[in-house]
Structure 1
Amino acid sequence: MNQVHIIPGLALSVLISLSAAAQPTPVYSWTNLPVIAQPTFRKDTVTITSFGAKADGTTLNTSAINTAILQCSQKGGGVVLIPGGLWLTGPVELKSNVNLHLRKGATLLFTEDKSQYVLVEGTYEGKKAARNQSPISGMNLENVAITGQGILDGNGDVWRAVHKRQLNSDQWKAKVASGGVLKDDGQTWYPSEQFKKASVGNMSMLLSPEKPLTSFANMKDFLRPNLVVLNNCKKVLLEGVTFQNSAAWCLHPLMCQDLTIRNVTTKNPEYAHNGDGMDIESCKNFLIEGCTLDVGDDAICIKSGKDEEGRKRGMPTENGIIRNNTVYNGHGGFVIGSEMSGGARYLFVSNCTFLGTDKGLRFKSVRGRGGVVEHIYAKDIFMKDIVGEAIFFDMYYFVKFATDGERDERPVVNEGTPVFRNMTFENIICRGAQTGIFVRGLPEMAIQHIVMKNMVLQASKGVELIDASKIKLDHVQLITKETKPVIAIQNSHDLTFNSIQYPANTELLFAVDGQYSQAIQVTNTELSNAHTKAEFNKGAVEKSLTILK
């Protein structure tokens, strides 16, 4: 795509002309949700003990389990049963038409012997990378499941580093006494000298023609595996099982179709680096329902590849239902990004509870990602004790906001410009957050066409909109500690505020900054509770805001 220089404030019209041909025809709505096909299995059941497996916690059962799965698949499929007990194993490879079923009381514990996990070509943040083989994996499968009421434990503590500040004194002493090595400043524990060298040296795990898989042996210990990776599979079911203690991401379905994750628990320590609960990447037609997540990074996360490689893949994560889930610890309850270069669309999030997450609804990207995220709908979301923002959009993920503290208007709209648009959030309750709503787009591409209605947000700060366009807040109650201002607007336009409630004796209701702030309309809002209705600074003018009775 040719680069097009954008005059700030006109990005939307240029975007429409650039991408009109790529607009998907609306198909799904709350009354017409996607349909997810379910896998089917023969009732034939084989037990891993028939292949010599022993539940003594010391016998390595890798061969027995994999042989049971392979033979079951070769005979037409069925159920491979793991009875109650502690089963030690190396990597397990799933096969088509097999349901791996963990009976209640069964724990599948993956060995801490890292030599059992061979180096494989995997992905890291959407790009081809060297990884250790995942404890559970499957590729190009159809009709595959992990079900039951048992536990899959990735033994992640032997793989991951941890900072001293993340543990209490007794935990830190135990960690140091367990082996491993310390960073030179004594503030970080590494599982090995090899891991330390790769981490401190910021060694890349990405594959390239100049750096094939065979060249990564000297940093193998650093290449932490995701617990479950299912690549290019159809009709997948994960149900009832607890997935815990992963070395990196817990569940990673990649380019799968007709995926159901139901009533599972994902559990990782708070200090687990990259300890995501589930990362749904470039998948089509999926259902996540009734799940409980308590993890060390993002909880339910939508991805579709990173930068140019993700755009070339061109597979959006689409047609998803996320409902009736509970998230405890996590960087975000429901998250899109930051690796979303293939796009995301038609996602329906409902009846979810976030208790103590860093952020609630979290959307993140950065210049260079590209991708279009649109047709995202969320309703009946209930939050408590959110550390940061209840609703969060940021196009400056891990980068400095501006150049030398000023608005950077040099970038252009091109294939690397991320687009977030066309979303509706309704009936959202948050009791406790740092900020109710935070939206920060790019000068060349605003966050646009977002409707937020029927909300009660109790937070220290109210609303902050930066480089946003066509945002509508409708019947929103803001219960804020800070009242100067309750709503901050910077270089944003075509905004509508209807029926806004805010604290009595508010010092300042609206702070409007920036010469590109314009077409701001306030309706059906009692203004007598504010000592000052609005202030205008940094090029903003009074006529940019219209108050209608």
Structure 2
Amino acid sequence: MKLRLTILFVVLVLVAAAQRPDFTVQQPVFKKDSFYVTKYGAKNDLTLNTKSIQQAIDVCNKNGGGVVVVPAGMWMTGPLVIKSNVNLHLQRGALLQFTADKSQYPLVAGNWEGLSQMRNQSPLSAENATNIAITGYGIIDGNGDAWRAMKKEKVTETQWKRLVASGGVLSEDKKTWYPSEASRYGSTLKNPGEIKPEKTKEFYESIKDFLRPNLLVFTSCKKVLLEGVTFQNSPAWCLHPLMCEDLTVRNVYAKNPWNAQNGDGIDVESCKNVLIEGSTFDVGDDGICIKSGRDEAGRKRGLPTENLIARYNTVYHAHGGFVIGSEMSGGARNLYVDNNTFIGTDIGLRFKTTRGRGGVVENIFVTNTTMKDIVAEAILFDMYYAAQDPVVLAGEKREPPKVETLPVNEGTPQFRKFLIRNVVCNGAEKAIFVRGLPEMNIKEIEMENLVIQANKGLDMTEATGISLKNVQLTVKETDPLMNIHNSQNIKLFNIAYNKADVLLNVTGEKSKGIVLNGVDAKKAKKGVEVNYGATEAAVKVM
């Protein structure tokens, strides 16, 4: 007996240790020397201050670093490049306003959605810089309205009429507004910005307006700090650290209109040693998103996002609160997500990929998550991502994905080894959705101590080694409460629920090893149903 208790204690200690980060995130340190942008000619009016502010940054860098100070006021500027040992500091009341004049943003080789692409230069950028920061209490506005297209169904009739009257062009079906013909033309092409030898400078110029920049792109930088500042109205993604190391994002506010196309909050791509804490995201696409490149290009880069802590953050409107994918071809591992709150997001915890990506996502620890008014799924794993909004718009028709078994190859993605513990969700369309591939199931997922109020319960297909323990489901649609298709070794322990016409529906000839333990089947009108190739032997009730 003592030996068994000792073994159990050792196991618990090992499990607890695995859930604690064993890495540190190094912080930048700056000289106290201050370089006020006004000293270099910057004016608090509508003057374009690009040269003055950039000069302050350059001089600060050449003098060994320090703080470039943006005082209270309106500071209009074009794109700025942050240099090593520079802390760009916005004092309270400062508005750093990037110009709507697209001619101020030259086309540069960059990276977009995991591929090398031509883009307009980002308003804020840095490359191969060390010891850099943007801090303070001010606002950085990317003037994204001048760049983004807009779908008619995402605005009111009055807003639509005002938008059309402002200029720009409409799509052929008159349902999408573009700020220019170049923007519209670019939207009709597949990956138009992708860098290829046959594409000329003239071609890229013809679609320049379509190649929207991310508000901030830091590439291959070390010891990076973003703190206190509001980043808003980005042309595309708001914050995009790419291949950075030792990144801290603390107490920032990323703010975009809810209908901002590609208006992500932060996309951490192929970064190592990351801390995101105390920040707020209210955006038009995913809130906190983890990426690592796309398809063959991402696999060739081979840099996972690893060693990340995301804690004490709040996400309001977003397609997903905390998200991995879909461009995760370089993989993701050792992510620790703790004490975050999602209010009104389309999906809460969103893990998405598709065939062709490849990459392994593993060792993901999500604890102490609070959610409210989630539009779709509270927890979602989906390997059939189709680059669509997670919530179907009124009148929109979508066909379900074609289910077929394909050979496993380097483009086959993998999701495995997740722990999701202590989740409370007050309101969702569906509690849990898990959809793997026939040739590569979603594997080794442990969900424990969940309290979820939703319209629907559990929907699972092509999954292996999934454990749900101590789960309370309060649902409206109860036929069935839980649906499992073509899945193996599924453990359902201590599942409490308010009502069920059918407690568990099991389908598919591949289903086996499904165990119900500590579940009161008597509350349901019917306990277990097996259909469409599943057998009674697939389910064991204890």
- Residue from 453, 458, 466 that aligns with 1:458: 453
Report what 2:441 is aligned to.
446
| 1:525-536 aligned within 5 A | 525-536=519-530
Report what 1:492 is aligned to.
487
Give yes or no for the alignment of 1:38 onto 2:34: no
Shift in Å, 1:502: 1.0
Against the structure 1 CA distance between its residues 180 and 399, is the aligned structure 2 distance closer, same or farther, given a 3 Å change threshold? closer
Shift in Å, 1:270: 1.1
| 1:108-507 aligned within 5 A | 108-202=96-190, 204-211=192-199, 213=201, 215-398=203-386, 407-409=403-405, 411-504=406-499, 506-507=500-501
Against the structure 1 CA distance between its residues 528 and 357, is the aligned structure 2 distance closer, same or farther, given a 3 Å change threshold? same
| 2:103 alignment partner, SS class | helix
Report what 1:510 is aligned to.
504
In the alignment, is the contact (CA less than 8 A) between 1:120 and 1:213 conserved in 2? Answer: no
Residues 396-439 of structure 1: per-residue CA shift (max 9 Å, x gap): 01189x99976412x11111110000010000011110100000
Work out the CA distance in 2 between the residues paired with 1:363 and 1:32.
Answer: 21
Using structure 2 for the length normalisation, give the TM-score.
0.94
Residue type of the alignment partner of 1:364:
K
| 1:165 alignment partner, SS class | helix
Give yes or no for the alignment of 1:29 onto 2:24: no
Identity of aligned residues (%): 55
Give yes or no for the alignment of 1:546 onto 2:540: yes
Work out the CA distance in 1 between the residues paired with 2:453 and 2:217.
Answer: 39
Against the structure 1 CA distance between its residues 60 and 407, is the aligned structure 2 distance closer, same or farther, given a 3 Å change threshold? closer
| Paired positions, count | 520
Residue type of the alignment partner of 1:490:
H
Using structure 1 for the length normalisation, give the TM-score.
0.92
Residue type of the alignment partner of 2:404:
D
Shift in Å, 1:35: 0.7
Against the structure 1 CA distance between its residues 48 and 396, is the aligned structure 2 distance closer, same or farther, given a 3 Å change threshold? same
Give yes or no for the alignment of 1:82 onto 2:49: no
Against the structure 1 CA distance between its residues 399 and 291, is the aligned structure 2 distance closer, same or farther, given a 3 Å change threshold? closer
In the alignment, is the contact (CA less than 8 A) between 1:338 and 1:366 conserved in 2? Answer: yes
Against the structure 1 CA distance between its residues 90 and 32, is the aligned structure 2 distance closer, same or farther, given a 3 Å change threshold? closer
Work out the CA distance in 2 between the residues paired with 1:27 and 1:529.
Answer: 35
Give yes or no for the alignment of 1:54 onto 2:43: yes
Q: Which has the higher contact order (CA 8 A, sep 6+)?
A: 1
Against the structure 1 CA distance between its residues 55 and 27, is the aligned structure 2 distance closer, same or farther, given a 3 Å change threshold? farther
Residue type of the alignment partner of 1:281:
E
In the alignment, is the contact (CA less than 8 A) between 1:207 and 1:213 conserved in 2? Answer: no
**Runs of 4+ in structure 1 over 6 Å off:** 402-406
Work out the CA distance in 1 between the residues paired with 2:472 and 2:169.
Answer: 52
Work out the CA distance in 2 between the residues paired with 1:406 and 1:424.
Answer: 29
Work out the CA distance in 1 between the residues paired with 2:92 and 2:402.
Answer: 58
Residues 247-304 of structure 1: per-residue CA shift (max 9 Å, x gap): 0000000000000000000000111110000000000000000000000000100000
Against the structure 1 CA distance between its residues 119 and 314, is the aligned structure 2 distance closer, same or farther, given a 3 Å change threshold? same
- Residue from 90, 107, 127 that aligns with 1:102: 90
Against the structure 1 CA distance between its residues 508 and 179, is the aligned structure 2 distance closer, same or farther, given a 3 Å change threshold? same
Unpaired runs of 5+ in structure 1?
1-25
Residues 351-382 of structure 1: per-residue CA shift (max 9 Å, x gap): 10100000000000011100000000001100
Shift in Å, 1:31: 3.4
Residue type of the alignment partner of 2:34:
T
Task: Tell me which moved more, 210-219 or 258-267.
Answer: 210-219
Work out the CA distance in 1 between the residues paired with 2:148 and 2:21.
Answer: 43
